[in-house]
A and B are shown apart, each in its own frame.
Chain A
Amino acid sequence: MSRFDRAFSRGPALVCFVTAGDPTLEATPAILDALVEGGADVIELGMPFTDPMADGPAIQAANLRSLGAGTTTADIFHIAARFREKHPEVPLVLMGYANPMTIRGPEWFAAECRKAGVDGVICVDIPPEEDPELGPALRAAKVALIRLATPTTDAARLPAVLDGSSGFLYYVSVAGITGLQQAAQASIEDAVTRLKSATRLPVAVGFGVRTPEQAAAIARVADGVVVGSVLVDLVGQHGADAPGPVRELTSALAQAVHGARKSA
């Protein structure tokens, strides 16, 4: 059983995103610890990129803070390895853009993921059509490739998205960038039903989820809830003092998401 299987087997899971190296490299490990202590079931660690085209203002700013502090790809793998040592059971996902992931070749990247104990990878700008760029190397290294499904992914296209996906399926609930509006609950329910009839992978829903109330509503229908920009905002506000507030918000979100386990 993989770490993902275990994390999603307990009922709806809370998936938390922060950007690696934001605001500094030294600050990230304590922020990740705070997420786990608060009750996050899966961690997404953002790889900063100079041109985060799919991200809204919060995560754009986090990318700039991190790169401004000098974060390198090697640093991110150090953070990942340290996380794996300290939290042997919590799945860790790297999320980012194609260029930093493929610049030294996909095999290099997949091997580094494997070595550091990274369980899965989300690459925003490699759709199934360009799978050879990253997919085969990740599969050979037994690192999950987590694909995104969106409101524009129709029934004809969904099989291509699912083919070669593993870990979980990330449903991007709004056509747009991270951190802005949230989708209507009804449209999320319809989409999750449609996706779950097409795959046995857990379905996690993200984009625009900011409050425990929103998270609870999604957790009643989906296998996971992804929260990112609101946590990144806290890091932006509190800097090196972010672990406290991050732990507090994560705990409220976890209660809301995990509460849906009993009511389900």
Chain B
Amino acid sequence: MSVTPTANSYRNMPDERGHFGQFGGRYVAETLMPLILDLEREYSAAKADPAFKAEFDDLLEHYVGRPSPLYFAPRLTEYFGGAEVWFKREELNHTGAHKINNCIGQILLAIRMGKKRIIAETGAGQHGVATATVCARFGLPCVIYMGAVDVARQQPNVFRMKLLGAEVVPVQSGAKTLKDAMNEAMRDWVANVHDTFYIIGTAAGPHPYPELVRDFQSVIGKEARAQMLGRTGALPDLLIAAVGGGSNAIGLFHPFLDDPAVAMIGVEAAGHGIETGQHAASLTGGKPGILHGNKTYLLQDEDGQITEAHSISAGLDYPGIGPEHSWLHESGRVKYLPITDAEALEAFQLCCKLEGIIPALESAHALAALPKLAPQMDKDKRILVNVSGRGDKDIFTVAEHLGVKL
């Protein structure tokens, strides 16, 4: 076939209107539209500016602690008895997760645009902590919207944000979780559009957010690609990452999308099980719709009312997914696998005991795909799992589920 490499690429999305096939786009109120267009222009200029890239890279190295290690997990490999298991150690970043990569990029954009105030939404509090961190570092006031239910169940992160100087606003509307925090952040944004920059925490929202969050997070995949080649002389055979909004997954996957020999699996949170309806698996259990500025797979009823998501992991507890994942799902390039709360809890404990690493519950979902895949693969194959965050924040949740009183 005489197809040009560009036309054949999975890496040239979105189009100039911010669409990934039928997904993505800019479904925002008119008040926000001029700002969204400004952001798009400013991001294009920043991408072409060597000084922007130099500052981003410098902060990632000296402030975040990159590159994050690539780690061979010998005991998990032995335990499953099949393919080699490797970890990308994003949990070793400053603030304990991949979220900070994106926050560094976005706050540099905010400063470039002359914005004086930062807002963000958060679920588990990881993105809120990362945002509060960069706001402290750059001396900008910061307001974090967090569902009141999440505020109650994530007290350590709430206190961290406050220590870092952020104002945490508990959101009382809806189910008082991540979706409602995002609604409230958008309400703040629309009222303060002249001076406020919204640091969205995942690869979702109106264009250009899904693109720029992916680009900032792609440092994960770029490093991993070079590290695997350097250590093993080959690319990994399979990548696995958990998907809520999907920023750690797209960050790992994107640099590998045009390597046909590399298979990829995004893990969705199946909660109590897809059949119970209590889950957060938008691709497996939802259908395309429009919410929070983009068209993507959503959990919804037949009238298009959004239904509540459920996951043991507050970071995956969202009824949508980034639009590029919806497109990669429909194109078949990436497969998506649902993992239940119970499976994630088991993988969480296994990783603690066999590797001495306490993973975030989000990352435990990715690890829980291993027993389904690793034993069936030959010993000369390699699986790379993105350990997107550390699990210190989750020990209270895990203790509760294991019936342990702390």
Contacts and interface: CB of A to CB of B under 8 A. Distances in A.
A54 B306 contact: no
A152 B31 contact: yes
A19 to B, nearest CB: 14
Interface residues of A, number: 42
A111 interface: no
Interface stretch (A4-12, A125-133, A195-203, A223-231): A125-133
B contact residues, range: 20 to 34
Which among B28, B186, B194 has the highest number of chain A CB atoms within 10 Å? B28
Contacts of B302: 103
Contacts of A150: 29-31
A177 interface: yes
A207 to B, nearest CB: 10
B303 interface: yes
B14 to A, nearest CB: 13
Contacts of A97: 290
A67 B173 CA distance: 14
Given A99-B291, A103-B303, A152 B30 contact: yes
Which 3 A-B pairs have CB atoms at the shortest separation, nearest pair first? A103-B304, A176-B191, A99-B304
Residue among A103, A154, A157 with most chain B CB within 10 A: A103
B183 interface: yes
B65 interface: no
A157 B33 contact: yes
18 contacts: A49-B305, A50-B306, A51-B179, A53-B190, A54-B190, A72-B303, A73-B303, A97-B290, A99-B291, A103-B289, A103-B302, A127-B27, A129-B17, A130-B26, A148-B29, A157-B34, A176-B31, A177-B187
A102 interface: yes
Contact of B193 (A52, A124, A152): A152
A125 B190 contact: no
A43 B27 CA distance: 25
A126 B294 CA distance: 10
A175 B195 CA distance: 12
A65 interface: no
Contacts of A100: 303-305
Given A53-B29, A127-B26, A175-B190, 9 more contacts: A50-B305, A64-B174, A73-B304, A99-B300, A103-B302, A127-B29, A130-B25, A177-B191, A180-B191
Contacts of B191: 174-177, 180
Contacts of B183: 51-53
Nearest to B305: A50
A72 B305 CA distance: 9
B35 interface: yes
Interface string A37-55: 0000000000001111110
B124 interface: no
Contacts of B304: 49, 73, 99-103
Contact of A153 (B27, B34, B293, B305): B34
Contacts of A180: 191
Interface of B: 17, 25-35, 173-174, 179, 183, 186-187, 190-191, 193-194, 289-293, 298, 300, 302-306
B304 to A, nearest CB: 3
Contacts of A210: none
A211 B26 CA distance: 35
A90 interface: no
A81 interface: no
Interface string A234-250: 00000000000000000
A126 B300 CA distance: 19
A88 interface: no
A13 B27 CA distance: 30
B288 to A, nearest CB: 9
Contact of B33 (A67, A99, A129, A177): A129
B272 to A, nearest CB: 21
Contacts of A177: 187, 190-191
B25 A151 contact: no
A72 B302 CA distance: 9
A126 to B, nearest CB: 6
A53 B187 contact: yes
Contact of A67 (B29, B32, B305): B305
A217 interface: no
Nearest to B179: A51
A124 B190 CA distance: 12
Interface string A103-147: 100000000000000000000111101100100000000000001
Interface centre among A53, A149, A151 (most CB of B within 10 A): A53
Nearest to A149: B30
A172 B300 CA distance: 29
A262 B149 CA distance: 54
A34 to B, nearest CB: 27
A28 interface: no
Given A124-B29, A129-B17, A152 B34 contact: yes
A129 B25 CA distance: 9
Contact of A99 (B26, B187, B194, B289): B289
Contacts of B300: 99, 103
Contacts of A56: 187
A60 interface: yes
Given A99-B289, A176-B190, A176-B191, A154 B306 contact: no
